[in-house]
Amino acid sequence: MTRSMFLASVVLAICATTVLAEPFYTKRKTNALREGAGAYYNLVGSVAENTALIVLNRTGSWVKVQLPNKQVGWMAANSLKEGKSDYTAAVPPSTMWSSPKALSAAIKGFGKKYGKGDPGIVDSVLRYSEKGFSGEELAVFAKEVRENPSENRGRVQIEDLDLPAPEYYADLPEQEIGVDIAARIAGKGIVRDRSLRRYVNMVCATIVETSALYDADLTVLVLDDRTINAFAVPGGYIFVTLGLVRQCRDESELAGVIAHEIAHVYRRHGLQEMSKRIAGIRADAAFGELEEEVGEPTEEEKEMEALVDQTYERVVHPRLLSYEIEADRIGAILAANAGYDPFGLVRISERVARVSSEAPDIFDADYMLPGDAVTRSREIRAFAEKSFTTEKPGEQMTGRFAAATSPLR
């Protein structure tokens, strides 16, 4: 039985009855428990692998569960399995949190020991993770995209790309590193318009809901800068500059940009690059107890700090063209399957490729090399024309985009 067939059988089993006498078991090292059926709901806590749960209800791809201590919350159906494993994998202390407060404290502890993110800005970044919309509001928002017929929805799947499994060090403290780096970037200046933040995150959630990342907690932040960039950091923080938002002409183009960054998260491109630099770090010492009192830094701590710095530099400097082309293709697929016109990503890519490279980037003048931008635009055009149709291509949502971004014009 394939992994997808097994997951489908688990979901079908969960759907078979409202309350199951036999428990299911968590199958990931850490499994997010949330207040509602969606990754945009607040985190209640994390549940360790092999925990027995009783399923109480199901909504879409989410299940309402009861823990052994009688606590109730919502969890992604793909976090569960039918039988208990013969072993319980060791869970890195840095990834097990009982509450958002504990997560915040651990991230600050990590920053104090290894990172350089300002604690005040770290607080702001964590607050930005609260999306500001309900499940009902998102359902209405997404329905406007999906209610119109599209010949491209479901036409191509990520699996059709036949990509190799990403290779990375799975026990890296992804959230802590990601928030520390996100805080450094956010220090450049974030657009604080709540309506805009809500809008871009609803576009993101609309895409994520129909993808394999439907239970991932992603956050989109708009940088207050006129240059044209977008990037994702470990931990699921996506940045789009104000300059790039202004280059977009409709929501499908913005969705293409966001879907491209979601693809980086999905393929763990950041973690892959980090893992290449980790050979010289003694993992057990570097990734151990992060809350201990900070004294004179050890060699391992210095190496860990260097890794965080290198990861930051990798985020804000030129990236591998192969990652970008891969993310473009996945992004087009994600946008199409959400109901958007996948050619939106083609249009914005071609527009960006035509923009003069004279104005320096906020981080580095050669962040997006002109030749790479042209290559990417040609590659995604060829891929889209081969994979999708222009007959009922999907929704563009031009009017909604214009209304949402009018204060920025």
Amino acid identity at 191: V
Distance CA 327, CA 333 (A): 10
pLDDT given at position 387: 98
Residues 220, 238: contact at Cβ < 8 Å? yes
Contacts of 356 (CB under 8 A, 6+ apart): none
- What residues are paired with 75 via a beta bridge? 63
Look at residue 393 in the predicted model and tell me its pLDDT: 97
Q: Where are the beta strands (DSSP E) in 166-285?
A: 219-223, 230-233, 237-241
Q: Are 204 and 238 contacting, i.e. CB atoms less than 8 angstroms apart? A: yes
| Cα–Cα distance for residue pair 308/178, rounded to 1 Å | 9
Sheet holding 230-233, edge to edge: 219-223, 237-241, 230-233
What is the pLDDT at residue 357? 47
* Distances in whole angstroms, Cα of residue 17 to Cα of each of 56, 115, 289: 9, 48, 42
Write down the pLDDT at residue 358: 41
pLDDT along the chain (409 residues), means of 10: 48 46 79 85 80 89 90 88 60 42 68 68 81 88 93 96 81 77 88 93 95 88 91 89 95 98 87 61 42 50 66 59 92 98 97 66 43 89 98 96 89
Q: What angle do CA 53, 54, 57 make, to 5 degrees?
A: 125
pTM: 0.78
Q: All domains of the chain, ordered by start, with CATH?
A: 3-91 (2.30.30.40), 100-408 (no CATH)
CA distance 387 to 350: 18
SS3 394: coil
Spatial distance between the Cα atoms of 221 and 182, rounded to a whole number of angstroms: 10
In this prediction, residue 363 carries a pLDDT of 36
**Which pairing describes strands 219-223 and 237-241: parallel, antiparallel, or unpaired?**
parallel
Residue whose entry in the numeric block shows the structure tokens 């770290």: 122
Dig out the tokens for 121 from the structure.
């800005």
What pLDDT, on the 0 to 100 scale, is given for residue 222?
A: 95
* Residue 120, number of CB atoms within 10 A of its CB: 10
Token readout for 110 is 């990590």
Euclidean distance between CA atoms 346 and 361, whole angstroms: 22
Exposed/middle/buried for 269, CB within 10 Å: 0-12, 13-18, 19+? buried
Nearest to 361 by CA among 226, 210, 173: 226
Gap between the Cα atoms of 72 and 375, Å rounded: 50
Cβ pair 171, 283 in contact under 8 A? yes
Q: Residues 368, 318: contact at Cβ < 8 Å?
A: yes
Residue 334 has φ and ψ, to the nearest 5°, of -60, -45
Phi and psi for 67 in degrees, rounded to 5? -80, 165
Q: Environment class of residue 274 by beta-carbon count within 10 Å: exposed (0-12), middle (13-18) or buried (19+)?
A: buried
Give φ, ψ of 62 to 5 degrees: -120, 150
* Per-residue pLDDT tens digits for 126-147: 888 878 888 889 999 999 999 8
CB 108 within 8 A of CB 122: yes
